[in-house]
Structure 1
Amino acid sequence: MTTLPIDKARVRRSFERAAGGYDAVAVLQREIADRLLERLDYVRLEPQRVLDLGTGTGHAIGGLQRRYRKAQVIAVDFAHGMLRQARRRGGWWRRPQCVCADAEALPLVDDSVDLIVSNATLQWCDLPLALAECRRVLRPGGLLMFTTFGRDTLIELRQAWSAVDDDAHVSPFLDLHDIGDALVRTRFADPVIDVERLTLTYATVRELMVDLKTLGAHNATLARPRGLTGRARLLALEQAYEIHRGAGRLPASYEVVYGHAWAAEISASGRSVTIPISAIGGREHSVKPAP
C-alpha cells in the first residue's frame, strides 16, 4: 500500500474553514451517504450504539436515528466547525452526541460500538491505523460500513496537471484491492468491497476547483507545491483539461468505493468465528449511478 503522506494539520484546517459553506456544494457526498444508508436496509442488526465516523456536517445522522430509534448515535469528526454544524441535526429532543477526535485515535473504550458508518472520510486517514481503531471499538459481531474514494477519483484533473508539471496537485487515493487487504490485516471478517463511478460536470475547470476548495478538499500531501499557482500555469491546466470536454461540459470522475466488514464473534473457546452470511438480508441490491 503506497500513498503520499497526508498533512493532517492541513486537512483539519481546510475542513474547519469549509464547514459553513460545505453543504452548499456537497452534492456528491450527500448522494453517496444516502446510498450507503440504503445498504443498511439489507443488514440484520439492532445496534445500541452507532458511530458516525467523520460525520462532517452530519448529513447521515437523521437517517441513522430514524433507522435505529433506540440507539445512541455518536458523531465524530476532527474539525470543530463541522461538529458545530452536525450538532444541529436531529430533533431538539434528540441531538447527537458529538465528539471531536481523529479516526486514527478514537477516545472510546474497546468493544463499545455496535455499528460504525463512515462516509467519504477514510481517504484522509492513515488507513491501517483508522481501521485498527474501528476494529478495536467494535463489539464482537459489530459492523463497519463505509465509503471512500478510489484511485481513479479526479483522474481528469490529475491528468491535466501532469501535462503542466511533475508536482503532486491532487491528493492520492487508494486502490480498492489495497482497501480490502487492509481490512483483512486488521482482522475484520468477511470484507466486501464494490465500486461505482459517478461523474459531476462543470462548465470550466475553475468551477471545479472552487467546489473542491469550498468542500475543504485541498491537496493535502506533504509533497504538495507550496507556492502560489500563477496565471500561466492555470491557463495551461485549463487547456490540458479541454481534451475531456464532452457535450459542452468538463467531467470530474469519482470512483466511489463501498465496503463493509464484521468484527468477528468470539466463541466459548476464545477463538474468533466469522459472521454467517445469514446475518445479511437475502435480497440482491444493485446501486446504479445517477443519470
Structure 2
Amino acid sequence: MSPMFDSRQIRRAFGRAARSYAGAADLQREVEDWLLESLMYLDDTVPATVVDLGSGPGRAAAAMQARWPKARVLALDLALPMLRQALPRRGWLGGLGRQRAVLPVCADAAALPLADGSVDVLFTSLCLQWVEDLPAALAGFRRVLRPGGLLLCSTFGHDTLHELRQAFAQADQAPHVSPFATIAQFGDALMQAGFRDPVIDRELMRRDYPDLAALMRELRALGATNALATRRRTLTGRARFARAAAAYEPLRGPGGRLPASWEVITAMAWAPDPGAPIRERGAEIASFPADRIPLRRRR
C-alpha cells in the first residue's frame, strides 16, 4: 500500500520552520498549555522518565523539567533543526543547579527508540496528525510506558482547515490539505492500543486572516506544509492559487476577514497493567513479565 505522507518532506518542512515556528505558534502554545495543566492529575507523583514527543522548540520539555527537576526529561523530534533551536533554553544542556538537563533525541514518533516500559509520562502535543498509522503509533506509546504510566496527547481533528480544503478542491484536483482523524477514530485507536480510563475532549477553535496568502504564510512558518505523498510536486501556480482564493472569498465574515477552523482533540489515558491485550494486525497480543509465568516442576 502506498504511504499517505512523505516523511522526508515532513522533516524538511519542520527543519526549515525551526526559526519561525515560535513566532507563529500561538494556537500550538495554547493547546500545549492545556496539556501541561493536566499534569495536576499526577498529584505529588514525581516521574522518573518523561518524554515530550514532537517537542518542536522544546517549550513543554523545559516546563516539565522545571516541574520535576530530578526527572529525566527527553525531548524527541523528527527535525534536528528544531532540537538545535531548543538547546539554548533554560534547563537544557548543563542544567541549572540541582535541575537535570533536558535530553534532546532526534527520532520518529512512529518508531520510538525507547525500551519497553521505560517511560512514566508521555506528552505529545499536535504531533500525531503527521503519523500515518495512528493505532500503530499508540501501540508504540503503550509499549514504552510503564504500567500505570500517563499518556497526554493532542491532535488536530477532522474539521481542521475544512475551509482551506474545500477552496483548494475547487481549484486543483491534487490534494492540498491532509486528512485528519475523527474523534471517534482517535478514541477507537486508544482503546485498540489497550489504554485504560481514557478521557477525550474536543474543542473547535477559529482564527481569522486578512486573506488566503496570510494563512498560507502562517502554515509555512509552522512547518505545516503539504506533505502528502500524492501532492503536486510543482509549484501551485498563480492561476490555481487565484482560483482557491476566489473559492475562499465567500466565507469572508462581517469583520472582513477569512476564517480558518482548527478542531483540537485532547486525550488523557493510562497504560494498563501487564497482561492486558493489545490489538495488532487483527490479533490480540499480551505481554507480561517472565517471572509471572507459572512453572510446573517434574517430581
What's the TM-score, normalizing by structure 1?
A: 0.87
Match status 1:40 vs 2:39:
yes
Distance across 2 between alignment mates of 1:235 and 1:23? 29
Matches within 5 A, 1:1-291: 5-44=4-43, 45-91=45-91, 92-93=95-96, 94-125=100-131, 126-246=133-253, 247-266=255-274
1:105 positional shift: 1.1
SS of residue in 1 equivalent to 2:230: coil
Cα contact 2:65–2:101 (8 A) shared by 1: no
Preserved contact between residue 208 and residue 260 of structure 2 (Cα < 8 Å): yes
Judge which range, 36-45 or 123-132, deviates more.
Answer: 36-45
Indicate the percent of aligned positions where both proteins have the same amino acid: 51
2:259, 2:66 → 1: CA distance?
35
What amino acid is aligned across from residue 47 of structure 1 in structure 2? P
3-state SS, counterpart of residue 218 of structure 1:
coil
What amino acid is aligned across from residue 221 of structure 1 in structure 2?
Answer: L
CA distance in 2: counterparts of 1:56 and 1:71, whole angstroms? 20
- Whether contact under 8 Å (1:157, 1:241) holds in the other structure is yes
Unaligned ranges ≥5, structure 2: 278-299
**Which moved further from structure 2: 195-204 or 4-13?**
4-13
Q: Give the Å deviation of 1:9.
A: 1.1
Aligned to 1:148, what secondary structure does the other structure show? strand
- Aligned-residue CA RMSD (Å): 1.7
Distance verdict in 2 for CA 1:96–1:231, change over 3 Å: same
Q: Secondary structure at the match of 2:205?
A: strand
SS at match of 2:59: coil
* Superimposed CA distance per residue, residues 102-137 of structure 1 (whole angstroms, 9 cap, x where no aligned partner): 111111111000000001001111212221111111
Q: Distance in 2 between matches of 1:56 and 1:20?
A: 11
Partner of 1:277: none
Q: Deviations over 1:239-265 (max 9, x none)?
A: 111111111111111000001111112
Distance in 2 (CA, whole Å) between partners of 1:167 and 1:4 is: 16
DSSP-derived class of the 1:187 partner: coil
Structure 1 unaligned segments of length 5 or more: list them: 273-291
8 Å Cα contact 1:61-1:89 kept in structure 2: no
* Alpha-carbon distance, 1:271 to partner: 6.1
| Equivalent position amino acid for 2:33 in 1 | D
Q: Per chain length, whose mean CA-contact separation is higher, i.e. which structure has more relative contact order (CA < 8 Å, sep 6+)?
A: 1
The one-letter code of the counterpart of 2:23 is A
Please report how far the alpha carbon of residue 40 of structure 1 lies from its aligned counterpart in structure 2 after TM superposition: 1.6
In the TM superposition, structure 1's runs of 4+ consecutive aligned residues that sit over 6 Å from their partners are: none
What is the count of residue pairs matched by the alignment? 267
Q: Is the 8 A contact 2:17 2:223 kept in 1?
A: yes
Deviation at 1:165, TM superposition (A): 2.7
Equivalent residues of 1:150, 1:256 under 8 A apart = yes
Letter in 2 for 1:17: R
Measured in 2, the distance between the counterparts of 1:271 and 1:83 equals 35
Q: CA deviation at 1:185?
A: 1.1
What letter is aligned with 2:79?
Answer: A
Higher Cα Rg: structure 1 or 2? 2
Tell me if the contact between 1:87 and 1:95 (Cα under 8 Å) persists in the aligned partners. Answer: no
The answer to whether the Cα contact below 8 Å between 1:49 and 1:115 also exists between their aligned partners in 2 is yes
In 2: Cα distance, 1:131 partner to 1:110 partner: 13
> SS where residue 60 of structure 1 aligns?
helix
